[in-house]
Amino acid sequence: METQKTALLAVSFGTSFHDTREKTIDQIENALAEAFPEAHLYRAWTSGMILKKIQKRDGIHIDNVKEAMERMIADGVTDLIVQPTHVINGIENDQMKEDVMAYASSLHSVSFGTPLLTTTEDNEETIRAVMKEWNLSQDEVLVFMGHGTTHYANTVYAALDYTFKDLGCKNVYMGTVEAYPSLESLLRQIHAYQPKKVHLAPFMIVAGDHASNDMSSEDPDSWKSQFEAEGFTVECHMKGLGEYRGIRDIFIRHAKEAAGIL
C-alpha cells in the first residue's frame, strides 16, 4: 500500500530584495509550516524575470511552479495543498493553477488556497489586520500603493478603497501603480481632504522594486516626488503586507480551508 505524503506548496511572485523577502515571504512560509507540521513545505516563485535575476546575481536557484511540481512528485508527494501569497485572483494566480493542474494526474489530490483578497470577508479582515498597526491623526492620510492589473480582478482595489472608508478609515486611500485607482485620482481626493501629512506604504506582499522605485525614490515620477510637488509633506514606510501578522493569519486560514481543516 502506497504511503501518503502531504506537501504544502507556497507560491509567491518573488522578489530580488533579500531584506524584504526575509521579513515577508519567509515569514509567511514559516507561519504556514508551523500551521501544517505534518506537511512538507515547498516553495515556488512565479516571476521568471526575478528567478533569472537572482540566479545570475546571487547564484541562487528557486523553483518555478513546474520545477516545484516535478520536485514534489520525485519526492513521492501524493497529496498537495497549494497556498499562493498573491494579493488578488489575477493573471499570476490563474497561470499558477494551470501549471499545477498539468501535473494533477500524478497526485491523489490537489487543493488550492485562495489569494489574500478573495471574498468580502477577506477584504474586511485584511483592512482590520493592517489598520491595527497604524495610528493616524485626523490631519494625516495613509495612501497604499497596490500593483494593479489589466485582469478584471483589479476591481478589488476600488472596492477596498470604499471598504476602508465604510469601516471608518476616512483618511486611508487605495491606489495602484498600473491601473485604477490611479495616482491622478488619489491626488484629487487628497487635495480635497487637505491633510498636513501623507504617509505612503506598499499594498504588496513585499516592499520590493515598486516600493523602492515607483513609491519612495527621488525620481520625479515617483509617488513621493509627485505628492511633494503638490505641496504635501510625505513619509514613506517600507513595510510589505507579509510583515503584518494578521495578513499571515489570513493565508493560514485560506490554506486550512483548502485542506478541509476549517
- Residues assigned a catalytic role: 147
Instruction: Give the separation between CA 258 and CA 111, rounded to whole angstroms.
Output: 6
Quote the CA–CA distance of 23 and 29 in Å, as a whole number: 11
SS3 label, residue 129: helix
Taking residue 134's Cβ as centre, other Cβ atoms within 10 Å add up to: 14
User: Which DSSP category does 107 fall into?
Assistant: S
Q: What cell numbers appear for 39 in the block?
A: 506537511
Alpha-carbon gap, residue 51 to 54, rounded angstroms: 6
Dihedral of the alpha carbons of 184, 131, 112, 206, in degrees to the nearest 10: 60
Residue listed under C-alpha cell 490611479: 182
Long-range contacts, 130-138 (Cβ 8 Å, 24+): 130/241, 130/244, 130/246, 130/247, 131/169, 131/172, 132/246, 133/244, 134/199, 136/171, 136/172, 136/199, 138/171
